[in-house]
Chains A and B, each alone.
Chain A
Amino acid sequence: KQEVTQIPAALSVPEGENLVLNCSFTDSAIYNLQWFRQDPGKGLTSLLLIQSSQREQTSGRLNASLDKSSGRSTLYIAASQPGDSATYLCACNDYKLSFGAGTTVTVRA
């Protein structure tokens, strides 16, 4: 059974600082890994998808890396803004998604 862990559980930074969110997983037999954003009481918005054969994926200020051999992924958010405040979830896809508990980010103006 896939176990996904996200560290830290919460993070508070001043505006402009770069964010580093970590995700680890136990089973490397995945098709891809997705990072999602969730605002309080809302559904999930897909941010980035990294295919199993890829090492990195970028979208704007977001960059995600994947190291399947060590079971790790990292999401980097450059130059954080108050609008980045949300919970960030990583999910491993082996036809169904296995999620971590998320990292709740607060960006202080």
Chain B
Amino acid sequence: DTGVSQDPRHKITKRGQNVTFRCDPISEHNRLYWYRQTLGQGPEFLTYFQNEAQLEKSRLLSDRFSAERPKGSFSTLEIQRTEQGDSAMYLCASSSWTSGGAVSSETQYFGPGTRLLVL
């Protein structure tokens, strides 16, 4: 049983550089979420996709951030011109969502996260 995978697991970069993270969801899941978690806090919602469509972006997602999910499979999250405040754990989750179905039982499954450190 393959769960949600994320790559890389760790990334150290210098301020001003661009970074890209990848998330591979559970294969039959049509929804994919990105969250960001800073030290001592719970994860915060960034954005989510249903298939290839990006349905919502949080105000936390500045114009330096962009996310894609081509063909409704894996997703990438890119941060341009990184800042020290971008240092965090970036978590991806996926779920199976059926319109009109049992939404109350929708469970999000999380990957191991990508830890970003911006120097």
Contacts and interface: CB of A to CB of B under 8 A. Distances in A.
B74 interface: no
A28 interface: no
Contact of B110 (A31, A43, A53, A98): A43
Nearest to A93: B106
Interface residues of B, number: 24
Interface stretch (B36-44, B63-71, B79-87): B36-44
Given A43-B110, A44-B91, A97 B105 contact: no
A101 B41 CA distance: 5
B89 to A, nearest CB: 8
Q: Taking chain A's interface residues, is the majority helix, strand, or loop, or is none over half, making it mixed?
A: strand
Given A32-B105, A52-B104, A96 B41 contact: no
A32 B107 CA distance: 9
A7 to B, nearest CB: 13
A4 B43 CA distance: 12
A105 interface: no
Interface string A64-108: 000000000000000000000000010101011111111000000
B40 A41 contact: no
Contacts of A49: 105, 107
